[in-house]
Structure 1
Amino acid sequence: MKKLDVLVLTDHTTHGKGESIYPLLQSMSENELCSSLFIVSRGNEENKEFFDGFALNDVHGKYIDKFFCYTEHGDWYKGGIQKNVSKFDVIFLRVDRPVSDNQLLTLKSTFSDQIIINDPQGIIETGSKKFLLQFKELCPDMALCKSIEDVEREADKYQVVLKPIDGYGGEGLIRVSKDYIWFQEQRETRTSGKTMLSRQFENGREMLAMKFLKNVTKGDKRVIVVGKKILGSTLRTPADGSWLCNLKQGGKASFSEVTEKEKQIAETISPALRKNGVVIFGFDTLEDEHGERVLSEINTLNVGGLIQAQEFSGQPVVEKAANQIWQYIKEVSEHNHVG
């Protein structure tokens, strides 16, 4: 099998010091199947038009080298050369939202002959909160809400957390009880907050109502899976007095072992994700009232946490992730008779 050229699409302006893309790509570059890794950033002005529509043939970027690393001002990304996108065998998508569904579909059509990780159509299908409805037996009680009346019916049974169907990064979460509504940390009475809540359903928007679990104070856990294998997990606990575990909302990360229940969750959801062309993903779990971990979220666009999982566990998580990605590329390439 011939060596392959990989085009990496990212945005260096969203990167932080603990960004896993740097050690991950360095590790991928050392694989025997790798001919080259060419990285293109949405943060470079020369690529603005390409990332706006993914319809242009030329991109501006640089080949990964030994100096590829994070710097606060993105010094490594300065300079670079222009390349035609048709020259690459594999597309590795590592960008955060905002990326619209239309942009993802255009990306898929632009690179219709290449392997894309993760598959854009698969990101759309599995990134929607509706995808969780396929695995009700693994999740807290939940229901799809199309109106404020739907929410009130669920909240009269038990406290719920409302998640926008297309939400990400912990944004837009709303907690509703019989008496109160929490918009993130802002508390309103059901009466005073009703108008604001009703706006969430304008233009036909839907939300997923999931039973609020009081054990959220024990943290939600991000479990990272690459190529069907669990590579690590990180526990994120909310700040004192908060119910939000997301690190952007002040949560703290710590080491946590993967439980047997979480292994079962991974085994159950992995085939459906793999069928959708999703190779690397993270899923989140919470502890229910019985002390069992239950599925609360699936992330398939730009999964982070590899470095944290490696630091907490002492295992070569990044290297294992790189090997699993290349193993998938090899399997698909051989299946498609590429090379």
Structure 2
Amino acid sequence: MNILFVADPLDSFKTYKDSTFTMMREAAARGWNLLACQPQDLHWQRGGQVSARMRQVRLTGRSGKGVTDWFEDTGSDVRALASVDAVVMRKDPPFDSEYFYATHLLERAEVEGARVFNSPRALRDHPEKLAILEFPEFIAPTLVTRSEADIRAFHAEQRDIILKPLDGMGGMGIFRVRDDGLNLGAIIETLNRDGAQTVMVQRYLPEIVDGDKRVLVIDGEPVPFSLARIPQGGEVRGNLAAGGKGVARPLTERDREIAAAIGPKLAERGLLLIGLDIIGTHLTEINVTSPTCFREIHDQAGFDVAARFISALEGRLGR
């Protein structure tokens, strides 16, 4: 059985915390043959199928901080995606034009018989910032707009707000503006570029000091532990990429309520794996491209997220 990971360059993986690596390790332990490529390796030509030059990967058993020899190439060849048993799309954001084009090639591969997780169409239909708009009962006061006047009116009403770009990742481009409105004009100019770009604005949630929880949901079922990403050093952002500290915690009743309402619905649309971001009792984002935190939850709480994921994938394949 062959499993293809469409991902970032393998040389860039930090195996001590990389969720895609834990997926690969679990799949290999179950006897899967590992293949890897990047989105730019995908191609299609009339008369043929969506194909890619795929690297055959063998894990060395080494991992951890500073480890670079965690894999070996055992060859490469061009194959149709429909010829492998499963394709796992794990390219990190940003969800830019090239990512968008890759989903179309992957969707064409599905027509040709490939099994792709997460569904390429579902990836396009659920942008990570905007997907929460389908579930207003769980979110804080939120505004999506290009209008500077609308943003100023929202600030006047809420008094303490968070502004962020729709295409950001890892906490990039997130600003807090308090009651005094200091630098609001400059921040609006930076983010919406004189009305050229849409901005999301949300009421500031003071519960962020206790962590921005990542709740992983696999095939509609929540992992029983979240990873609370706690801001450090006066930061407003809890993202691990922004220096947040990750602490595994059992799900709260509210976490489970949100996951139960959203998880099965999105699983039916082809989203085998999603990551719900929850601050306090409010949903803030739905991550669908390459949700992380597998390793931290496993290391701290002992729950093997990768095993749950590969079991769910095998279940979808009828194995």
Name the CA distance, whole Å, in 2 between partners of 1:210 and 1:221: 17
**1:50 to 2:12 alignment:** no
**1:95 to 2:91 alignment:** yes
Residues 1:296 and 1:49: Cα distance change in structure 2 (over 3 Å): closer
Equivalent residue letter for 2:13? H
Q: Where does residue 153 of structure 2 map in the other structure?
A: 153
**1:312 to 2:308 alignment:** no
Q: Where does residue 118 of structure 1 map in the other structure?
A: 118
Q: Where does residue 276 of structure 2 map in the other structure?
A: 283
**1:199 to 2:187 alignment:** no
Checking the alignment, whether the CA contact within 8 Å between 1:221 and 1:233 is kept in structure 2 is yes
| Cα deviation digits, residues 123-152 of structure 1 (max 9, x gap) | 122224221111111111112222111111
Compute the displacement of 1:197 (Å).
4.6
Q: How many residues align?
A: 305
Q: TM-score, normalised by structure 1?
A: 0.81
Q: After superposition, where does 1:1-339 map in structure 2 within 5 Å?
A: 4-11=1-8, 12-16=10-14, 17-31=16-30, 36-42=32-38, 49-51=40-42, 57-64=51-58, 67=61, 72-73=67-68, 76-78=71-73, 80-85=75-80, 86-99=82-95, 100-112=99-111, 113-158=113-158, 159-180=160-181, 189-193=183-187, 195-199=189-193, 201-202=195-196, 205-231=197-223, 232-287=225-280, 293-330=281-318
Name the CA distance, whole Å, in 2 between partners of 1:139 and 1:261: 12
Name the CA distance, whole Å, in 1 between partners of 2:59 and 2:186: 57
Q: Runs of 5+ in structure 1 lacking a partner?
A: 43-47, 181-187, 288-292, 332-339
Residues 1:20 and 1:189: Cα distance change in structure 2 (over 3 Å): closer
Q: TM-score, normalised by structure 2?
A: 0.85
| Percentage of identical aligned residues | 20
- Superposition CA RMSD, Å: 2.6
| Cα deviation digits, residues 38-67 of structure 1 (max 9, x gap) | 32233xxxxx8525x677624130144565
Name the CA distance, whole Å, in 2 between partners of 1:54 and 1:262: 42
Checking the alignment, whether the CA contact within 8 Å between 2:2 and 2:33 is kept in structure 1 is yes
Which deviates more, 318-327 or 170-179? 170-179
Q: Runs of 5+ in structure 2 lacking a partner?
A: none
Q: Where does residue 45 of structure 1 map in the other structure?
A: none
Checking the alignment, whether the CA contact within 8 Å between 1:28 and 1:323 is kept in structure 2 is no
Moved beyond 6 Å, runs of 4+: none
Compute the displacement of 1:194 (Å).
5.0
Name the CA distance, whole Å, in 2 between partners of 1:305 and 1:216: 18
Name the CA distance, whole Å, in 1 between partners of 2:163 and 2:124: 20
